[in-house]
Amino acid sequence: MNTSKVEFRDNKNLKDFQSTTTSLFSAPDADKRNFNVNDVLGDWERDDRGNVIVNQDKFGGETDKQGRPTNIRGYLVNPKGDVVEGITGKRSIAFSVEDLDERGELPAPFCVEKYNFNPHDLQGDLDFDFDDETGQPIPRLLQTKQGFFVDKKGRLINKHGWLINANSHIVDKNGRIRFDRR
């Protein structure tokens, strides 16, 4: 694996690169396939199979690890019970409470196809070399003095070239969590 050292004088440089992305939320549309469950799911622990573990708070309600209200299925909700997005902080309504089933689950087809995404939106901006024998691409990984891998735009990546956040969750180019770290 070919790694190059990239030096940053301070963390401000890395923050400047990361601040160029914006988190925008648009209402889920089955035809556009623009829905990802992580946009409306609270911050929860997961069991060994990847299922969300929803715990009740001391008042008998459900709140995620960040103290945001959720329903019994772990989806972020407003006081009315509508499922709201957790990206921008504006809490735009993603699904009306009337659209949910009696267990608080999302309507079809969103409850079935929860993870629509484009894998190219999860990859860092990298250059590649090619293996002389197999012809397979080998990413040129850039590394900071602190040992973190970054892409050409200074965004954090893992050793496989996937964009990550500070908690090592795989994120898209807008910084939205797409896969939780296990």
Q: What is the pLDDT of residue 38?
A: 81
DSSP conformation class of 178? E
Per-residue pLDDT at 84:
92
What percent of the chain clears pLDDT 90, i.e. is strictly above it?
A: 28
HSE value, Cβ hemisphere, 13 Å, CA-based, for 80:
13
Q: Does pLDDT of 138 surpass 80?
A: yes
Burial class (CB in 10 A: 0-12, 13-18, 19+), 23: middle
Is the C-alpha dihedral spanning 124, 162, 26, 31 positive or negative?
A: positive
Nearest to 176 by CA among 125, 110, 117: 117
Coil, strand or helix at 98: helix
In this prediction, residue 98 has a pLDDT band, given cuts at 50, 70 and 90, of very high
Q: What are phi and psi of 98, to 5 degrees?
A: -70, -25
Buried b (16+ CB within 10 A) or exposed e, 133-145: eeeeeebebbebe
Q: Three-class SS of residue 121?
A: helix
pTM of the model: 0.55
Q: What is the pLDDT of residue 180?
A: 78
Q: Report the pLDDT value the prediction gives residue 82, as an integer from 0 to 100.
A: 93
CA distance 149 to 128: 15
Q: Which phi and psi angles does 165 have, rounded to 5°?
A: -100, -175
Quick one: pLDDT at residue 20? 46
DSSP-derived 3-state class of residue 77: strand
Residue 23, token pair as written in the block: 């988190």
pLDDT digits (tens, 9 = 90+) for 6-46: 554 555 555 555 544 444 566 777 666 677 788 888 888 88
Residue 153 has which token pair? 């735009």
What's the confidence (pLDDT) of residue 122?
87
Query: 139-154: per-residue pLDDT in tens?
Result: 889 999 999 999 999 9
Q: Is the pLDDT of residue 163 over 90?
A: yes
* Residue pLDDT, tens place only, 44-68: 888 888 778 888 777 667 888 888 9
Distance CA 119, CA 8 (A): 28
Q: Between these two residues, 78 and 117, which has the higher pLDDT value?
A: 78
pLDDT tops 90 at residue 177: no
